[in-house]
A and B are shown apart, each in its own frame.
Chain A
Amino acid sequence: MSGNGHHSDKGTAVLELKREDFVSDQETRWCPGCGDYSILAQTLKTLPDLGIPREKFVFVSGIGCSSRFPYYVNTYGFHGIHGRAPTIATGIKAANPDLSVWVVTGDGDALSIGGNHFMHAIRRNVDINLILFNNRIYGLTKGQYSPTSEFGKKTKSTPFGSIDYPINPLCVALANEATFVARSIDVDVKQLASVITQAAKHKGISFVEVFQNCNIFNDGAFKQFTEREFREDRTINLEHGKPMIFGKNRDKGLRLDGPRLAVVQLGNGVSESDLLVHNAAAPDPCLAFMLARMDYPDFPVPVGVFRSVIKATYEDLMDDQVQESIRRMGPGNLETLLNSGDTWLAN
Chain B
Amino acid sequence: MATVEIEEKEKQVVELENVTIRFAGDSGDGMQLTGSQFTNTSAIFGNDISTLPDFPAEIRAPAGSIPGVSGFQINLSSRDIRTPGDEPNVLVAMNPAALKVNLPDMEKGGIIVVNSDSFSELNLKKAGYERNPLEDGSLAGYRVIAIPLSDLNANALKSLNLGKKEAERCKNFFALGMMYWLYDRPVEPTLKWIREKFQKKPQIVAANSLAVTAGYNYADTTELFTTHYRVRKAALAPGKYRNITGNEATALGFIAASQVAHRPLFYASYPITPASDILHELSRHKNFGVKTFQAEDEIAAIGAAIGAAFTGQLALTGTSGPGVALKSEAIGLAVMTELPVVIANIQRGGPSTGLPTKTEQSDLLQAMFGRNGECPVAIVAPASPADCFRMAFEAFRIATQFMTPVFYLSDGYLGNGSEPWKIPAVNDLPKIDVKFATNPEGFHPYSRDEATLARPWAVPGTPGLEHRIGGLEKQHITGNVSYNPDNHDYMVRLRAEKIARVASFIPEVEVYGNPEGKVLVVGWGGTYGAITSAVESLQKQGGSVSSIHLRYLNPFPMNLGKILSRFEKVLVPELNLGQLRWLLRARYLVDAVGFNKVKGLPFKISELVQEIQGLL
Instruction: Give the B-binding residues of A (Cβ under 8 A).
Output: 1, 4, 7, 11, 24, 26, 53-61, 70-71, 74-81, 84, 86-96, 98-99, 116-117, 119-120, 318-319, 321-322, 324-326, 328-332, 334-335, 337-347
Say whether A92 contacts B289, CB under 8 Å: no
Which single residue of chain A is at the shortest CB-CB distance from B3?
Answer: A343
Cβ-defined contact, B287 with A331, below 8 A: yes
B499 close to A (CB within 8 Å): no
> What is the CB-to-nearest-CB distance from B558 to chain A, in angstroms, rounded to a whole number?
31
Asked whether, in the complex, the Cβ of B460 is within 8 Å of the Cβ of A56, the reply is yes
B275-307 interface with A by 8 A CB criterion: 285-291, 293, 295-297, 299-307
Roughly how many angstroms separate A105 CA and B291 CA in the complex, as a whole number? 27
Instruction: Select one of A55, A321, A330 contacting B460, CB under 8 A.
Output: A55
Nearest residue, chain A, Cβ from B237: A346
- Supplied contacts A90-B307, A91-B306, A342-B43, 18 more A-B pairs, CB within 8 Å: A11-B463, A58-B460, A75-B466, A78-B310, A80-B471, A84-B300, A91-B268, A94-B304, A326-B289, A334-B426, A338-B426, A341-B242, A342-B243, A343-B242, A344-B43, A345-B238, A346-B237, A346-B238
**How many whole Å from B431's CB to the nearest CB in chain A?**
14
Q: Is the CB of B288 within 8 A of A78?
A: no
How far apart are the CA atoms of A255 and B262 in the complex, in Å? 59
Chain B residues 224-248 with CB under 8 Å of chain A are 233, 235-244
- Closest chain-B Cβ to A103's Cβ sits at a distance in Å of 11
Q: In the bound complex, do residue A94 and residue B308 qualify as a contact, i.e. CB atoms below 8 Å apart?
A: yes
Instruction: Report B-chain residues with C-beta under 8 Å of the C-beta of A318.
Output: 291, 293
Partner of A55, one of B235, B302, B466, B470: B466
B286 touches A326 (CB 8 A): yes
| Interchain CA distance A75-B310 in the complex, whole Å | 14
A90 CA to B310 CA, complexed, in Å: 12
Residues 465-500 of B at the A interface (beta carbon under 8 Å): 465-472, 480-481
Footprint of A on B, CB under 8 Å?
Answer: 1, 3-6, 40, 43-44, 46, 189, 233, 235-244, 252, 255-256, 259, 264, 266, 268, 285-291, 293, 295-297, 299-313, 315, 329-330, 333, 337, 423-426, 440, 460-472, 480-481
Rounded to whole angstroms, the CA-CA distance of A53 and B310 in the bound complex is: 18
Tell me which residues across on chain B come within 8 A of A59, comparing CB atoms.
468
| Contacting pair A78 B307 (CB below 8 A) | yes
How many pairs of A and B residues are in contact by the CB < 8 Å rule?
A: 233
Contacts A338-B252, A347-B238; A87 near B329 (Cβ below 8 A):
no
B interface, over-half SS: mixed
Docked complex Cα distance between A79 and B473 (Å) = 11
Contact assessment for A92 and B307 in the assembled complex, using a CB-CB cutoff below 8 Å: yes
Chain A residues whose C-beta falls within 8 Å of the C-beta of B302 in the assembled complex? 87
The answer to whether residues A321 and B286 also contact, given A84-B299, A87-B300, A342-B40 and a CB cut-off of 8 A, is: yes
**Cβ–Cβ < 8 Å partners of B466 in chain A:** 1, 4, 54-55, 74-76
The docked-state distance in angstroms from the alpha carbon of A16 to that of B534 is: 72
Q: How far is the CA of A117 from the CA of B3 in the complex (A)?
A: 48
Q: With CB as the reference atom, state the residue of chain B lying closest to A93.
A: B307
Q: Which residues does chain A contribute within 8 Å of B299, judged by CB atoms?
A: 84, 87, 117
Expressed in whole angstroms, the Cα–Cα distance for A328 and B43 within the complex equals 32
**B461 lies within 8 A of A98 (CB):** yes
Given known contacts A87-B304, A95-B291, A339 and B242 CB-to-CB distance under 8 angstroms:
yes
Q: Is the CB of B468 within 8 A of A71?
A: yes
- Alpha-carbon gap, A119 to B469, bound state (A): 25
Please list 14 pairs of residues, one from A and one from B, whose beta carbons are closer than 8 Å in the complex, sorted by A's number. Answer: A80-B471, A87-B307, A88-B307, A91-B304, A91-B305, A92-B310, A94-B307, A322-B290, A332-B285, A334-B288, A338-B252, A338-B423, A345-B241, A346-B46
A91 touches B286 (CB 8 A): no
A343 to B255, Cβ gap below 8 A?
no
Question: Do B296 and A96 have beta carbons less than 8 Å apart?
Answer: no
The answer to whether residues A117 and B470 also contact, given A56-B461, A345-B5 and a CB cut-off of 8 A, is: no
Does B236 contact A346, Cβ atoms closer than 8 Å?
Answer: yes
Distance in Å from the Cβ of B222 to the closest Cβ of chain A?
30
CB neighbours of A117 from chain B (8 A): 296, 299-300, 303
CA distance A7 to B266 in the complex (A): 31
Q: A54-B466, A55-B465 are in contact. Are A332 and B300 (CB under 8 A)?
A: no
Query: Which B residues are CB-close (under 8 A) to A88?
Result: 303-304, 306-307, 310
Evaluate contact between A344 and B46: CB separation under 8 angstroms: yes
Do residues A120 and B330 form an inter-chain contact, with CB atoms below 8 A? no
Q: Which residue of A96, A329, A338 contacts B287 across the interface (Cβ within 8 Å)?
A: A329
Chain B nearest CB from A132 CB (Å) reads 18
Task: Give chain B nearest CB distance to A98 CB in angstroms.
Answer: 7
A344 to B465, CA, bound (A): 51
Instruction: Verify B3–A53 contact, CB threshold 8 A.
Output: no
Instruction: Give the residue of A120, A325, A330, A344 whose beta carbon is less than 8 angstroms from that of B4.
Output: A344
Determine whether the beta carbon of B423 is less than 8 Å from that of A92: no
The residue on A at minimum CB distance from B427 is A335
Question: How distant is A119 from chain B, measured CB to nearest CB, in Å?
Answer: 8
Are the CB atoms of B289 and A332 closer together than 8 Å?
yes
Name the distance in Å between B423's Cβ and chain A's nearest Cβ.
5
Write out the residue numbers on chain B whose beta carbons fall within 8 Å of the beta carbon of A58. Answer: 310, 460
For B469, give the chain A residue with the smallest CB separation: A78
Residues in A whose Cβ lies below 8 Å from that of B329: 81
List A contacts of B426 (CB < 8 A): 334-335, 338
Complex CA gap A215/B563 in Å reads 65
Contacts known (A80-B471, A84-B299, A84-B330); A96 close to B461, Cβ less than 8 A: yes
Tell whether, in the assembled complex, residue A342 and residue B1 are in contact, meaning their CB atoms are under 8 Å apart. yes
Q: A87-B299, A334-B259, A339-B240 are in contact. Are A94 and B463 (CB under 8 A)?
A: no
Of B301, B469, B470, the most chain A CB neighbours within 10 A belong to B470
Given known pairs A78-B469, A334-B256, A338-B424, the reply for A92 and B330 (CB within 8 Å) is no
Least CB distance, B294 to chain A, in whole angstroms: 11
Asked if B289 contacts A95 (CB within 8 A), the reply is no
B2 → A minimal CB distance (Å): 8
Question: How far does the alpha carbon of A343 sit from the alpha carbon of B43 in the complex, in Å?
Answer: 9
Docked-complex contact A55 and B424, CB < 8 angstroms: no
Report B-chain residues with C-beta under 8 Å of the C-beta of A334. 255-256, 259, 288, 426
Closest Cβ of chain B to A114, distance in Å, is 10
Question: A321's closest neighbor in chain B, by CB?
Answer: B286
| CA distance in complex: A77, B268 (Å) | 21
Residue of B nearest to A113 (CB): B299
Min CB gap B512→A, angstroms? 23
B132 vs chain A, min Cβ distance (A): 41
Q: How far is the CA of A231 from the CA of B4 in the complex (A)?
A: 81
Q: How long is the Cα–Cα vector from A81 to B333 in the complex, in angstroms? A: 7
Query: What's the Cα separation between A337 and B470 when bound, in Å?
Result: 38
Distance in angstroms between the alpha carbons of A334 and B300 in the assembled complex = 30
A201 to B16, CA, bound (A): 73
- Contact residue among A92, A94, A324, A332 (Cβ-Cβ distance under 8 Å from B291): A94
Count chain B CB atoms within 10 A of each CB in A59, A94, A95, A326 and give the residue with the most: A95
- Roughly how many angstroms separate A329 CA and B290 CA in the complex, as a whole number? 14
Q: Is A81 a contact of B330 with CB atoms below 8 Å?
A: yes
A4 touches B240 (CB 8 A): no
- Chain B nearest Cβ from A176, distance in angstroms: 12
Chain A residues, Cβ within 8 Å of B308: 91-92, 94-95
Taking a contact as CB atoms under 8 Å apart, the answer to whether A345 and B240 are in contact is: yes
Q: Is B288 in contact with A332, judged by CB distance below 8 angstroms?
A: yes
B300 touches A120 (CB 8 A): yes
Q: Which residues of chain A come closer than 8 Å to B301, judged between CB atoms?
A: 87
Bound complex: CA of A59 vs CA of B425, how far in Å? 43
Please report the C-alpha to C-alpha distance between residue A347 and residue B233 in the assembled complex, in whole angstroms: 11
Could you tell me the distance in whole angstroms from the C-beta of A133 to the nearest C-beta in chain B?
Answer: 17
Kindly state the separation between the CA atoms of A79 and B479 in the bound complex, as whole angstroms: 12
Query: A60, A91, A120, A340: which contacts B266 (Cβ < 8 A)?
Result: A91
A73 to B437, CA, bound (A): 21
With the chains together, A338 CA to B470 CA distance in Å?
Answer: 38
| Shortest Cβ distance from residue A272 to the other chain B in the assembled complex, whole angstroms | 45
